[in-house]
Amino acid sequence: MTDNRAHHGTATGQVLSIHVTVNGHAHDVLIEPYLTLIELIRDRLGLTGTKKSCDMQVCGACTVLLNGRPVSACTMLAFEARHASLLTIEGLAQGEALHPIQEAFIEHGGLQCGFCTPGMILAAKALLEENPAPTEEEVKHYMRGNLCRCTGYKRILESIMVAARRLAQTHNPGVLET
Amino acid sequence: MLPPFALEEPTSVHEALALRARYGETACLYAGGTELLLTMKEGLLRYERLINIKLIPELAGMALEDGALHIGAITTHRMLERSPVVQRHFPTVAEMAAHVANVRVREVGTLGGNLCFAEPHADPGTLLLVYDASVALAQQGGTHTLALEQFFVGPFEVALADDEILTAIRVPALPAHTAAVYLKYGLLERPSVGVAVAVTALPDQVQEVRIAVGCVGPTPRRLRDVEGLLSQKELPEVRATLDAAGALAGSAADAVTDLHGSAEYKAYLVGVLLRRAFERAYQQAIRGDVGDTARGRGTA
């Protein structure tokens, strides 16, 4: 999807042309320098799985992965995604096959209303890529900036621990899941 | 929604300084944006243009120079946290960085930006004060260094002129037999109280104590009067003085009443954290262990 709308009438008139890969698809978009990443994702690209909640980098609902690193789309300028690979929750499943983290959240009840879940799952993905076998304490520390007002976190923690073991097993089939 | 602004993207300090000189206070330096963009979204600050300094190679990177840690201004908290060099030689700095805000802020927020923004409820400035850290400030005539202690002027106010750029932070190594500890406490997103203590000691002999307090007052500050009470003393005497030192630290910290708590409450917590931090730093100093010492609730 390419946004070729011209943007007139801004205070500066400055328009930036950026190239960004979103969930594996290349996009060339024209953006204002003050456009936020979440506005690009939701309003221009129509990917509404990324949620906006606190709008101040506290809650984690807008977590997306920029070159694999978790960022708050609400408080990041969209141009920072130029030449980068952006992953939103829509890009995680392979067709109908859910990602192991998504499966673990469903099986272990790691969500209720689901509003925090895209951010939770993407943050968990970044964590497990950096640290494939985290302790519970390490998961809690990494995930402390992703807030859930429904579940009380226990099931989210369980989901992530289970996903970690499954992913490790996928990578090392000789290791038995415990 | 952010109010409209234009973007400048210099690729050298020289170019950035020219933009600073040209646009003055109508422009703002922009690195991670974790503080600046929030404030602009709220309409509290408005700039005609932002100068993105992240494309300037001279501002990037970390290195040991004669034992001191040179940190380029655009180094993120996450880089500090994960750097093997910082973990090995400045473990308390790495540990402090690992507890700044949340992982998304740490991925994006920079040390230079954190210091320049001077939000009082922050961790790095307080800890770096006990290392006698300094900042390198570039202007068109050249670069000068300023002690971090002099850099902090007030809440959201630092000694950085409109035509200057903070290019790097220098963190000297601690003296031999010294350990630093940073403790913080808070119930909100940002820390309410932060206390840093560096203790130089041999068993039962306390040679030097450095103390800095942050979050509770207008700026992080060194508490030299309190340091004097505890330095060059035998351990039992230091321990007997700790309550009085904690009380003095609480009042010297210039605590203010705000959403984080009353001034009285914060002054009390300063004393509590000072006593705890002293004990930990002393134990680590006499063991020759300078590791893993920034702990506590609350973030920056």
CATH of the domain at B23: 3.30.43.10
Is pLDDT above 90 for B40?
yes
B283 and B194 in one domain? Answer: yes
**Interface ipTM above 0.85:** yes
Quick check: A14 and B7 CB within 8 A?
A: yes
Which percentage of chain B shows pLDDT scores above 90? 94
Residue-wise pLDDT tens digits, A155-173: 999 999 999 999 998 877 6
Give the CATH number for residue B252: 3.30.390.50
Listing DSSP states for B78-113 in one string gives HHHHH-HHHHHH-HHHHHHHHTSS-HHHHHH-BHHH
Is pLDDT above 70 for B300?
no
Quick check: A58 and B102 CB within 8 A?
A: yes
B172, B206, B223 - which closes a domain: B172
Q: B50: which chain A residues are within 8 Å (Cβ-Cβ)? A: 33
B172, B187, B210 - which closes a domain: B172
Is pLDDT above 90 for A64?
yes
Residue-wise pLDDT tens digits, B180-222: 999 999 988 899 999 999 999 999 999 999 999 999 999 999 9
B97 and B116 in one domain? Answer: yes
Adjacency order of strands within the sheet including A69-72? A25-31, A16-22, A85-87, A63-66, A69-72
Is pLDDT above 80 for B65?
yes
B43 and B70 in one domain? Answer: no
Report if residue B299 sits inside a domain: no
What is the spatial distance between Cα A34 and Cα A15, in angstroms, rounded to a whole number? 10
B111 and B152 in one domain? Answer: yes
Q: Which residues of A touch B (CB under 8 A)?
A: 10-12, 14, 16, 32-36, 39, 55-58, 60, 63, 69-72, 75-77, 79, 123, 126, 141-142, 144-146
Report if residue B297 sits inside a domain: no
Contacts of A128 (CB under 8 A, 6+ apart): A101, A134, A160, A163, A164, A167
B132 and B82 in one domain? Answer: yes
| CA–CA distances in Å: residue A62 to residues A55, A107, A121, B64, B154 | 8, 23, 11, 37, 33
What is the spatial distance between Cα B68 and Cα B90, in angstroms, rounded to a whole number? 9
Listing DSSP states for B191-252 in one string gives -SEEEEEEEEEETTEEEEEEEEEESSSSS-EE-HHHHHHHSSEEHHHHHHHHHHHHHHHHHH
What is the spatial distance between Cα A151 and Cα B242, in angstroms, rounded to a whole number? 44
Within 10 Å of residue A109's Cβ, how many Cβ atoms? 13
- The answer to whether B2 faces chain A, any CB pair under 8 Å, is yes
Domain span holding position B12: 6-52
pLDDT of residue A175: 55
Report if residue B95 sits inside a domain: yes
Residue-wise pLDDT tens digits, B116-158: 999 999 999 999 999 999 999 999 999 999 999 999 999 999 9
Q: B41: which chain A residues are within 8 Å (Cβ-Cβ)? A: 55-56, 75
Residue-wise pLDDT tens digits, A82-138: 999 999 999 999 999 999 999 999 999 999 999 999 999 999 999 999 999 999 999
pLDDT of residue A172: 72
B129 and B165 in one domain? Answer: yes
Q: A139: which chain B residues are within 8 Å (Cβ-Cβ)? A: none
Which of B211, B219, B291 lies closest to B245 in space, CA to CA? Answer: B211
Number of domains in chain B: 3
pLDDT of residue B48: 97
What is the spatial distance between Cα A45 and Cα A47, in angstroms, rounded to a whole number? 6
Residue-wise pLDDT tens digits, A125-159: 999 999 999 999 999 999 999 999 998 899 999 99
B46 and B136 in one domain? Answer: no
B265 and B191 in one domain? Answer: yes
Q: Which of A57, A82, A128 to mutate to test the interface with B (most CBs of B within 10 A)?
A: A57
CA B286, B287, B293 angle in degrees (round to 5)? 95
Report if residue B1 sits inside a domain: no
Beta carbons of A53 and A115 less than 8 angstroms apart: yes
Quick check: B107 and A10 CB within 8 A?
A: no
B258 and B165 in one domain? Answer: no
Quick check: B104 and A60 CB within 8 A?
A: yes
What is the spatial distance between Cα B108 and Cα B101, in angstroms, rounded to a whole number? 11
B155, B172, B189 - which closes a domain: B172
Average pLDDT, rounded, for chain B: 95
Angle at which helices B235-252 and B263-287 cross, to 10°:
150
Residue-wise pLDDT tens digits, B272-295: 999 999 999 999 999 986 544 454
Domain range A100-170, CATH class: mainly alpha
Confidence grade of residue A2 (pLDDT, cut at 50, 70, 90): very low
Report if residue B16 sits inside a domain: yes
pLDDT of residue B187: 87
Q: Which of B103, B297, B299 to mutate to test the interface with A (most CBs of A within 10 A)?
A: B103
Span of A9-23, B119-133, B234-248 with lowest mean pLDDT? A9-23
B94 and B26 in one domain? Answer: no
Two structure tokens written together for A107: 């099986």
Report if residue B42 sits inside a domain: yes
Q: How many CA atoms lie within 13 A of B280 on its CB side?
A: 20
Quick check: B108 and A76 CB within 8 A?
A: yes
Report if residue B295 sits inside a domain: no
In chain A, where the domains are located: 5-91, 100-170
Q: Is the pTM of this model over 0.90?
A: yes
What is the spatial distance between Cα B108 and Cα B124, in angstroms, rounded to a whole number? 15
B66 and B43 in one domain? Answer: no
B198 and B109 in one domain? Answer: no
CATH for A5-91 is 3.10.20.30
Q: Which of A8, A31, A34 to mutate to test the interface with B (most CBs of B within 10 A)?
A: A34
Report if residue B292 sits inside a domain: no
